[in-house]
Structure 1
Amino acid sequence: MPRLTPIALIAGLFAPLGVLAPKGMWLLFLVPALWQSVLAWRGGELGTAFRGPLAWLALAASAWALGSAGWALSPWPALAVAASLALGFAGLLILLAAARSLDETDKRMVERALVLGFAVAAGLLAVDLAAGGAGLRLAHGLLREDEPFRHTLFNRRITVLSLAAWPAMLVLWGRGKRLMALACPLLVLLLAFAGYSLSARLAAVAALAGFALALVLPRATRVLLAGGVAAFALLMPLLAQGPLKPERYETSLGGRAYSALHRLHIWRFSAERIAERPLAGWGMDASRRMPGGDQALPRGGNLMNLHPHNGSLQVWLELGGIGALLLAGLVGLAAFAGRMIDDRVGQAAALAAFVNGFAVLNLSYGIWQRWWLATLLLAAVLLATFATRRSAESGRDPVRL
């Protein structure tokens, strides 16, 4: 008989909570992680989660982040953020081990919960978009139109939904419901273009392009993607001061797309500060306190608004080249994880989900924001759950990388 497991709870609530209250995603990570930790401890299996290359990379990244508090601009806030990251990695490893140990009955419950949750969340978001965001304003007590707030919240909602689309597609495709499976990412694409987020549109298009390419050339796409994202993470400071420097785009982005131009200014400022401390960085959480970051730009906005709006640059800025190498290792490992899924469509869907997450990671949110970090970790758990299902017959382990 199916049981309510921590993974089933995540699967059922991931998309609906992301649409209704995205900042609560950290609770959806915390509660199942603690729940599963107790279950694993009682079963004498807690230590098995902390084995393999992924665990070692996560341990190294956590240790480096914690150590960076020693030279951070504000040591105690840096230590708190680093501790949160370390606990997040620990929770991820514990939940991945849980995904590996689910039996077929429990997995079927997880699948049903995920598909139902995605359908409900997509319907809610579509209806709210059609109503001009009335549901958003009502839910948050806004009696009048608040464009900046509405746009920001929509961005979070479509981001979470886009990450839920690919695991949902994996489930439906595995059940033989091919048209419904393909409809999941296409629906997200339509909702992204009906909304307000340029980064969500770019991420959705990039994910679909990655999916199509992986269908045709699965192995080459996997190798190219793993190497490409690792190289991007390492080379982003050079890109920000070269091909992406804002002066190149003053004419094309200086009008209605000024927010994109402003982001390029932030990226270059971040790269300049990285060059001052390239090896160890400025310490965790330094983006919020970066000297010179409060300088105003002529057309509006500051040189640094709390974070660089680029995960690769933020890791470089706060943890230096050593942190960037660890990030490159983690993202490269994540890109290769899709090889453990046996069918070509499943592999392509896993790569597309990775592209989607990596694109948003480098276009929008601060990488240490609790809700966003939790969203990424939860998406990884869901993908691993369904990768496990498809690789069970081959005897390969998709989780313990």
Structure 2
Amino acid sequence: MPAAAAASDRLAVWCGWVLVGAAALVPLLAWLGPLGFAPLMGLVGLLCLPALRITDEDRPVAVVLLAGLVWAGMASAWSVWKPDAVEESVALKLALQLPLYWAAWCAARRADPALRRLALTVLAWGLALLGVIYLVEAATGGAVYQALRAAIGDPTRPDLARKNLAQGSFAVALLWPLAAAGGIRAGWPWWLGLPMALGAWLMAFLFHSDAPVIAVGLSLLVGVLAWSFPRSAPRALAVAAAGFFLLTPAVMLGLRSLGRGMGIEVAAPESWAQRLGYWSHAVDAIAHHPFRGWGLDASRAFSPNIVLHPHNGALQAWLELGAVGAVGAALVWAFLLRRLSREGPDLAAAAGCAAAVAYLLFAAVNFGLWQEWWLALGALACVVVGMMDGVVPAPRVRPDRRTAAKSSTTAAFSG
């Protein structure tokens, strides 16, 4: 075997085992420490840096991401919010995350097919087991989690335990379509997805996290549509995602006028009333600097009118990076989702669309654009889709019963 081919095979095996190890840690992090997804994906990217490539198909996304990174760095210069320490710099974090997460995505496509299948198997069974644990946690009010915290000498209050577990339900609500589809692609039964979806849904419902409750069903619906309309559904989702980032400020202005006339903000539950207030203040601030924005991470400077971030990714992009940043975000999502368009039904593409709509939902009502663990989860979703794309669907041999019975009878009498 030529030296170049041997080195290539070693890289494929190396990337494969790194992904298997990462897949084993995903359920534990979702359950016990979702913030750990950021160092996990950073480590995967660092270990797989030799696999980093930019193909012709990748080039549009890569160009927009690099341009966005440059614009974000420039925007940090005029930002009204300045970090107190270097490690708090969002620009620095993004500059590290982009190559590392890209390398992890490349590793998923470069890894040995047999090890990709193993990684998908580990992920599917691991999240299915976590789904069962979530059902137990939901029934007991988080008793298992509290017992583990007490066992390691770090006890926590029941209300904080429920809050932490609810945060993990976001991760499972995002990943369950990918893990279930990956398990099917690796040859395992479809019902592994049931405990994942049901566990995340029940946990979120009982612990009062609205978005994962909606995301579980919405992901299933979008996944079915992407399977049924493999060419048009991903393209429609790409247009919708781009529209979300481009049009949200205008939509919010219209909804604000309508809501004030109907008294919606007053009648809304407290958490939603706070969001409506954040969104209203964000729209007003965007109007002052619509092109360049207020600067990277500037949302933090608007407290108490906006606490940390507007809890809407599109508004945060406009508020901090202006129209330039919003267009960049729209293009990235459009390019990525457009790549999921297929000529025939494809499990990986359908699962990718399902996860994408959950991510967009959470971006619209929950998390900030720059939260490290949430960006890492987005990268992980891309990695799982990349692994599935390189795995040939496992054959399912279902012998005809009549043929099998006839063969057995013939063998018995011929003996």
Give the TM-score of the pair, scaled to structure 1: 0.84
CA shift, 1:280, in A, is: 0.7
- The structure with the largest alpha-carbon Rg is 2
- More displaced, 188-197 or 122-131? 188-197
**Counterparts of 1:225 and 1:61 in 2: how far apart (Å)?**
22
Is the CA contact (8 Å cut-off) linking 2:128 and 2:193 kept in structure 1?
no
1:362 is paired with a residue of what secondary structure? helix
Q: Distance in 2 between matches of 1:118 and 1:341?
A: 30
1:132 and 2:141 are equivalent in the alignment = yes
2:328 is the alignment partner of 1:317? no
Separation in structure 2 between the aligned mates of residue 158 and residue 14 of structure 1, nearest angstrom: 13
Which letter does structure 2 place at the counterpart of 1:354?
A
CA distance in 2, matches of 1:389, 1:211: 19
Q: CA deviation at 1:306?
A: 0.9
CA distance 1:109–1:281, change in 2 (3 Å)? same
Distance change >3 Å, CA 108–CA 342, structure 1 → 2: farther
Identity %: 28
C-alpha spacing 1:200/1:116, structure 2 compared with 1 (3 Å) = same
1:195 to 207, 212, 218: 207
Aligned to 2:333: 331
Please state if 1:90 is matched with 2:92. Answer: no
Change (3 A) 1:205 1:376: same
Aligned position for 2:126: 117
Aligned to 1:161: 172
Letter of the 1:386 partner, please give it: M
Name stretches of at least 5 consecutive residues in structure 1 with no aligned partner: 295-302, 392-401
Distance in 2 (CA, whole Å) between partners of 1:53 and 1:349 is 23
Amino acid at match of 1:84: K
Cα distance change of structure 1 residues 248 and 49 upon mapping to structure 2, 3 Å threshold: farther
Q: Trace 1:357-368 onto structure 2 (pairs within 5 A).
A: 357-368=359-370
Q: Which residue of structure 2 lines up, in the alignment, with residue 145 of structure 1?
A: 158
TM-score (norm 2): 0.82
What's the counterpart of residue 263 of structure 2? Answer: 250
CA distance in 2, matches of 1:221, 1:169: 20
Aligned equivalent of 1:64: 71
**CA distance, structure 2, for counterparts of residue 244 and residue 221 of structure 1:** 31
CA distance in 2, matches of 1:197, 1:345: 28
How far the C-alpha of 1:85 sits from its partner, in A, is 1.4
Conserved 8 A contact 2:128-2:195: no
Q: Tell whether the 8 Å contact from 2:293 to 2:321 is kept in structure 1 after alignment.
A: yes
Contact 2:48 2:107 in 1 (8 A): yes
Work out whether residues 6 and 33 of structure 1, in 8 Å CA contact, stay in contact via their aligned partners in 2. Answer: no
> What is the alpha-carbon distance in structure 2 between the residues aligned to residue 341 and residue 142 of structure 1?
53
**Would the aligned equivalents of 1:193 and 1:201 in 2 still touch at CA under 8 Å?**
yes
Structure 2 CA distance for partners of 1:227 and 1:128, relative to 1, 3 Å: same
- Is structure 2 residue 278 aligned with structure 1 residue 266? yes
CA-atom RMSD in angstroms? 2.7
**Could you say which residue in structure 1 is the equivalent of 2:7?**
none
Distance apart, 1:311 and its partner CA: 1.0
What do the CA deviations read for 1:221-259 (whole angstroms, capped 9, x no partner)?
A: 22221101101111111122212555256358726x221
Task: Give the stretch that moved more between structures: 156-165 or 69-78.
Answer: 69-78
Distance 1:143 1:115, change over 3 A: closer
Do 1:7 and 1:110's aligned partners in 2 also have CA atoms closer than 8 Å? yes
CA contact (8 A) 1:342 1:390 kept: no
Paired residues for 1:2-401 under 5 Å? 5-37=17-49, 40=50, 46=52, 48=54, 52-76=59-83, 80-138=89-147, 139=149, 141-142=154-155, 144-146=157-159, 149-174=160-185, 175=187, 177-181=189-193, 184-244=196-256, 246-247=259-260, 250-251=263-264, 254=267, 257-290=269-302, 293-294=303-304, 303-339=305-341, 343-389=345-391
SS at match of 1:338: coil
Is the CA contact (8 Å cut-off) linking 1:338 and 1:387 kept in structure 2? Answer: no
After superposing the two structures, state which structure 1 stretch, 372-381 or 319-328, moved more. Answer: 372-381
CA distance in 1, matches of 2:44, 2:198: 30
Amino acid at match of 2:130: A
Following the alignment from structure 1 to structure 2, what is the Cα–Cα distance between the partners of residues 76 and 132? 38
Amino acid at match of 2:41: F
C-alpha distance 231-251 of structure 1, shift in aligned 2 (>3 A): closer
